[in-house]
């Protein structure tokens, strides 16, 4: 199959938050592009990899203005490098997505909007959210889903601590244990018992541990949804 690479928009990825999920984005984009095009084809990508440790410390201090500055600078770097569409390869940092999007000229694709559309397509009215403490205790996911009349529910405080600890102590280092997997599945069952009709894997590392076959309700793999949405846009 012949394909003109000049027709594809160059994808810019704000990555490193963590490196594990950035690798997954890279693999998904390459695999899907190659599946469509064939041969030795691979997509046009630029990754600006940031320091996760620095950003996490800023989030702990609730210094979102400085987080915004770092992400905005990264987006600007990608613009200068020729990116024609930009994605932030992490959920939590979407807390500053709207601010960044309003300050640059290159189109951006939100992981929140992509995931909300996926839930809407299944006619769901209530979904559970797993993610970092910063994501589960913030309202940016709630606001994005309210536009589609979908309610977000989160685990109880104890379960939130467990989900967050596994993310930062294990998943960011690609440590995958049966115990953590079982713990996540138990939490998903509890969310289901509270009325969740689906569950958002709202941290881009969680799909390393949890897949659809593990769960009693539809799972929304934000990493895959976001990466494929970026590719669709780039190929328009």
Q: Are residues 84 and 153 in the same domain?
A: no
> DSSP class of residue 23?
H
pLDDT (tens digit per residue) in 154-185: 999 999 999 999 999 999 999 999 999 999 99
Among candidate residues 115, 132, 203, 223, the one labeled active-site is 203
Q: Are residues 166 and 186 in the same domain?
A: yes
215 is catalytic: no
175 φ, ψ (degrees, to nearest 5): -95, 115
**Section 30-51 average pLDDT:** 94
Q: Are residues 10 and 65 in the same domain?
A: yes
* pLDDT grade for 228, boundaries at 50, 70 and 90: very high
* pLDDT grade for 2, boundaries at 50, 70 and 90: very low
Q: Is the pTM of this model over 0.75?
A: yes
* pLDDT grade for 6, boundaries at 50, 70 and 90: low
Q: Are residues 104 and 117 in the same domain?
A: no
38 φ, ψ (degrees, to nearest 5): 85, -175
Q: Are residues 31 and 121 in the same domain?
A: no
* pLDDT grade for 236, boundaries at 50, 70 and 90: confident
pLDDT over 70 at 153, yes or no: yes
Task: Look at the chain and report how many structural domains it folds into.
Answer: 2
Q: Which long-range contacts (CB under 8 A, 24 or more apart) does 143-149 make?
A: 144/110, 144/112, 144/113, 144/115, 144/116, 145/112, 145/116, 145/119, 147/116, 148/116, 148/117, 148/119, 148/120, 149/125
pLDDT (tens digit per residue) in 53-111: 999 999 999 999 999 999 999 999 999 999 999 999 999 999 999 999 999 999 999 99
Domain containing residue 55: 5-110+224-235
Q: Are residues 57 and 97 in the same domain?
A: yes
Residue carrying structure tokens 């958002």:
200
Q: Are residues 59 and 45 in the same domain?
A: yes
Q: Are residues 24 and 92 in the same domain?
A: yes
Q: Which two tokens stand for residue 102?
A: 């309003």
**Section 220-232 average pLDDT:** 98
pLDDT over 80 at 4, yes or no: no
CATH of the domain at 135: 3.40.50.1860
**Section 26-42 average pLDDT:** 93
Q: Are residues 203 and 229 in the same domain?
A: no
Q: Are residues 37 and 89 in the same domain?
A: yes
In sequence order, the 6+-apart residues with CB closer than 8 A to the CB of 193 are none
Q: Are residues 12 and 106 in the same domain?
A: yes
pLDDT at 177: 98
Q: Are residues 77 and 59 in the same domain?
A: yes
């Amino acid at each position: 199959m012949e394909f003109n690479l000049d027709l594809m928009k160059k994808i810019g990825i704000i990555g490193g938050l963590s490196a594990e999920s950035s690798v997954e984005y890279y693999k998904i984009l390459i695999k899907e592009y190659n599946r469509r095009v064939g041969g030795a084809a691979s997509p046009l990508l630029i990754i600006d990899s940031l320091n996760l440790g620095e950003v996490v410390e800023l989030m702990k201090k609730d210094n979102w203005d400085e987080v915004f500055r770092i992400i905005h600078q990264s987006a600007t770097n990608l613009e200068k490098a020729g990116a024609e569409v930009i994605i932030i390869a992490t959920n939590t940092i979407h807390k500053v997505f709207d601010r960044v999007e309003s300050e640059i000229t290159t189109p951006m694709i939100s992981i929140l909007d992509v995931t909300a559309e996926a839930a809407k397509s299944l006619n769901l009215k209530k979904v559970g959210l797993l993610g970092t403490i910063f994501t589960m205790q913030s309202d940016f996911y709630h606001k994005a889903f309210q536009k589609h009349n979908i309610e977000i529910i989160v685990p109880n405080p104890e379960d939130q601590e467990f989900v967050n600890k596994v993310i930062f102590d294990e998943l960011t280092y690609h440590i995958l244990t049966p115990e953590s997997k079982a713990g996540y599945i138990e939490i998903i069952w509890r969310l289901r018992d509270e009325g969740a009709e689906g569950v958002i894997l709202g941290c881009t590392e969680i799909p390393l541990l949890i897949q659809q076959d593990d769960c009693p309700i539809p799972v929304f793999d934000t990493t895959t949804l976001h990466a494929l949405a970026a590719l669709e846009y780039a190929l328009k």
